[in-house]
Structure 1
Amino acid sequence: MEAAAPIVSVVMPVYNTAAYVAQTIEAILAQTFRDFELLILDDGSTDDTPAVLKRYAALDSRIRIISRENKGIVASRNELIAACRGKYMAANDADDLSVPDRFEKQVAYLESHPECVLLGSRVVVMDPYGSPSYITDHKLTHEDIEKQLLGNGGGWAVVQSSMMCRTEAARKVGGYRGEHPVFSEDHDFYLRVAELGKFANLPEPLTWYRRHYSSTTRTYYLEKVKRHAETREKVLREAHQRRGLPFPADWTFSPITAPPRDEQARLWGWAALKHGNIAVARKHAKSAVRYGPFKLASWKLLLTAFRRSADTKGQVFPNAYR
Structure 2
Amino acid sequence: MHGTNRKKRAPKPIISVLMPVRDASDTVKEAVESLWRQHFPSWELIAVDDGSRDDSAAILQACAAADPRVKVVRQPPRGIVAALTAAAGMASGQFLARMDADDISLPDRFGAQLEMFNRIPSLALCGTKVQLTGHGISCGYRRYEVWLNSLITPEDHARECFVECPIAHPTFMMPRIWYESAGGYRDTPWPEDYDLLLRIWQAGGRMAKPDAVLFEWRHRPQRLSQTDPRYAPEAFRKIKRHYLPGSDTPLYQWGAGEVGKLWLKDWQAEAKKGGLRPVAVVDINPRKIGRIIHGFRVIGPSELPPPGLCWIAVTVGAPGAREEIRDWLVPRGYREETDFLFLGIL
Instruction: Indicate if the aligned counterparts of 1:128 and 1:211 stay in contact, CA closer than 8 A.
Output: yes
**Structure 1 residues 47, 149: CA separation in 2 closer, same or farther (over 3 Å shift)?**
same
Deviation track 1:214-257 (CA, whole Å, cap 9, x = no partner) reads 22243x14xx38x83443233212222468898763474899xx
Tell me which of 194, 198, 212 is aligned to 1:191: 198
Any idea what SS the aligned residue of 2:96 has? strand
Report what 2:224 is aligned to: 216
Q: Percent of aligned pairs with the same residue?
A: 28
Alignment TM-score, normalising by the size of structure 2: 0.64
For residue 105 of structure 1, report the CA deviation from its aligned partner: 1.1
**Structure 1 residues 48, 96: CA separation in 2 closer, same or farther (over 3 Å shift)?**
same
Tell me which of 141, 161, 165 is aligned to 1:149: 161
- Kindly indicate whether residue 217 of structure 2 is the aligned counterpart of residue 205 of structure 1: no
* Residues paired across the two proteins, number: 243
Report what 1:238 is aligned to: 242
Instruction: Indicate if the aligned counterparts of 1:127 and 1:212 stay in contact, CA closer than 8 A.
Output: yes
Instruction: Indicate if the aligned counterparts of 1:118 and 1:166 stay in contact, CA closer than 8 A.
Output: yes
**Structure 1 residues 211, 150: CA separation in 2 closer, same or farther (over 3 Å shift)?**
same
**Structure 1 residues 244, 42: CA separation in 2 closer, same or farther (over 3 Å shift)?**
farther
Report what 2:322 is aligned to: none
* Stretch of structure 1 that moved more, 92-101 or 193-202: 193-202
Instruction: Indicate if the aligned counterparts of 2:116 and 2:209 stay in contact, CA closer than 8 A.
Output: no
Any idea what SS the aligned residue of 1:17 has? coil
- Kindly indicate whether residue 90 of structure 2 is the aligned counterpart of residue 83 of structure 1: yes
Residue 243 of structure 2 aligns to which amino acid in structure 1?
Answer: A
**Structure 1 residues 6, 245: CA separation in 2 closer, same or farther (over 3 Å shift)?**
farther
Q: Which has the larger radius of gyration?
A: 2
Alignment TM-score, normalising by the size of structure 1: 0.68
Deviation track 1:102-137 (CA, whole Å, cap 9, x = no partner) reads 1111112212323211111111111159xxx97743
Report what 1:301 is aligned to: none
Alpha-carbon distance between aligned partners in 1 of 2:261 and 2:83, rounded to the nearest angstrom: 28
Residue 210 of structure 1 aligns to which amino acid in structure 2?
Answer: R
Deviation track 1:239-298 (CA, whole Å, cap 9, x = no partner) reads 22468898763474899xxxxxxxxxxxxxxxxxxxxxxxxxxxxxxxxxxxxxxxxxxx
Deviation track 1:182-213 (CA, whole Å, cap 9, x = no partner) reads xx111111011122421002220010011123
- Kindly indicate whether residue 40 of structure 2 is the aligned counterpart of residue 28 of structure 1: no
For residue 2 of structure 1, report the CA deviation from its aligned partner: 4.9
Alpha-carbon distance between aligned partners in 2 of 1:78 and 1:243, rounded to the nearest angstrom: 34
**Structure 1 residues 17, 253: CA separation in 2 closer, same or farther (over 3 Å shift)?**
farther
Unaligned runs of 5+ in 2: 1-7, 263-346
Tell me which of 114, 139, 147 is aligned to 2:151: 139
Alpha-carbon distance between aligned partners in 1 of 2:247 and 2:59, rounded to the nearest angstrom: 45
* Stretch of structure 1 that moved more, 62-71 or 240-249: 240-249
Alpha-carbon distance between aligned partners in 2 of 1:125 and 1:64, rounded to the nearest angstrom: 28
Deviation track 1:33-74 (CA, whole Å, cap 9, x = no partner) reads 001111101111111101111110100000111111011011
What is the RMSD computed on CA atoms of the aligned residues? 2.8
Residue 192 of structure 1 aligns to which amino acid in structure 2?
Answer: R
Instruction: Indicate if the aligned counterparts of 2:48 and 2:72 stay in contact, CA closer than 8 A.
Output: yes
The aligned runs of 1:1-322 (5 Å cut-off) are 2-127=9-134, 136=146, 137-151=149-163, 153=164, 155=165, 157-181=166-190, 184-194=191-201, 195-218=203-226, 220-221=227-228, 224=229, 228-241=232-245, 249-250=253-254, 252=259
**Structure 1 residues 246, 70: CA separation in 2 closer, same or farther (over 3 Å shift)?**
farther
Alpha-carbon distance between aligned partners in 2 of 1:19 and 1:175, rounded to the nearest angstrom: 29
Tell which has more relative contact order, 1 or 2 (C-alpha 8 A, sep 6+): 1
Unaligned runs of 5+ in 1: 256-322
**Structure 1 residues 104, 46: CA separation in 2 closer, same or farther (over 3 Å shift)?**
same
